[in-house]
Amino acid sequence: MDKIRLSTADIEFILQWRDEHKDLVRLGMSPLKAVKIICFESGYTITAVREGKLLNFGINQNGKSLGKLVFETLGNGMCELVKNTTKLQNEDSQAVLTVYSSAMALLVFGRATIQQDESDVREVVPHKPKKTSKKSKRNGYTYILGRSGKEPHLMVKGSHSSPSGMFSVRGHYRHYKSGKVIWITEYTKGCGKKKDKTYKVGKKD
Last residue of a domain, one of 109, 131, 151: 109
Are residues 17 and 90 both part of a single domain? yes
**Is 99 in the same domain as 21?**
yes
Phi, psi angles (nearest 5°) of residue 195: -120, 145
Q: Which domain holds residue 40?
A: 2-109
Give the DSSP H or E segment for 157: strand 151-157
Share of the chain above pLDDT 70, in %: 64
The count of domains in the chain is: 2
Q: What is the DSSP letter of 1?
A: -
Domain end marker among 109, 126, 150: 109
137: pLDDT strictly greater than 80: no
In angstroms, the CA 102 to CA 31 distance is 12
Q: Which amino acid is at 64?
A: K
Tell me the average pLDDT of the chain: 75
Mutual angle of helices 8-20 and 90-109, in 10-degree steps: 80
Pairwise pLDDT comparison (44 vs 123), residue with the higher score: 44
Higher pLDDT, 193 or 42: 42
Q: What is the pTM of this model?
A: 0.65
- CB contact at 8 A, 86 and 72: no
Q: Are 93 and 153 in contact (CB under 8 A)?
A: no
User: By percentage, how much of the chain surpasses pLDDT 90?
Assistant: 30
